[in-house]
Amino acid sequence: MRDLLQYLPVVADFPRPGIAFRDICPLLADAAAFDQALASMEELVQHWQVDRIAGIESRGLIFAAALAARMHLGLVPIRKPGKLPPQTLRENYALEYGQDGLEVQHAAFQAADQVLLVDDVIATGGTLLAAARLVQRLGARVAGVVSVLEIRALDGRARLEAAGLEVRTVLRD
């Protein structure tokens, strides 16, 4: 087993001064490390009932797509504003470094779908909270959220759990 944290080097002051950015590219570039990350994610959610996987643009979608194929589940992209053709629903949210919005297509989910939300890194948790609200506004349910890494100092887990969401992460830093 590899220590996957070694494949997620910290890049200081990117994309803004003061941000310690975790670069996922070395992990993606190593087939065994990427496979181990996906296998761990799958194992972490194996007891959840999941009908569909939703991945958050940009880097969350990479893991979500691979996990969806691995778990034989359909994939729903949750994207930055203006990328998805209509009709879409939008949520605005605060990021560790700035403000942003997310959109999903109206027709993305069936009413009682149990949706697994996937992102690469949980920082403040704001992105996943916004994604969860989109799922819920469309009448589907969030089975839980899974990510490769959570940044403990920013305590996104507490915000997500306070909103009633189950959280699983492969790595904590």
Residues of span 134-153 touching ligand AMP by CB under 6 A: 151
Strand, helix or coil for residue 103: strand
C-alpha to C-alpha distance for 135 and 115, rounded to whole angstroms: 8
Residues of span 66-125 touching ligand AMP by CB under 6 A: 95-96, 119-125
Catalytic residue among 96, 103, 150, 157: 96
Strand (E) or helix (H) holding 91: strand 88-95
Strand (E) or helix (H) holding 98: strand 98-105
The conformation of residue 23, written as its DSSP 8-state character, comes to P
Which is nearer to ligand AMP, 141 or 159 (by Cβ)?
159
The minimum distance between CB 134 and ligand AMP, in angstroms, equals 14
Instruction: Choose which of 59, 67, 104, 157 interacts with ligand AMP (CB under 6 A).
Output: 59
Active site residue 59: yes
Nearest to 55 by CA among 25, 78, 81, 74: 78
Which is nearer to ligand AMP, 111 or 153 (by Cβ)?
153
The minimum distance between CB 112 and ligand AMP, in angstroms, equals 27
2 Cβ contact list (under 8 Å, min separation 6): 32, 33, 36
C-alpha to C-alpha distance for 145 and 4, rounded to whole angstroms: 19
Active site residue 96: yes
| Residue 22 interacts with ligand AMP (CB under 6 A): yes or no | yes
Q: Which residues are catalytic?
A: 59, 96
The footprint of ligand AMP (CB under 6 A) covers 19-22, 56, 59-60, 95-96, 119-127, 151, 156
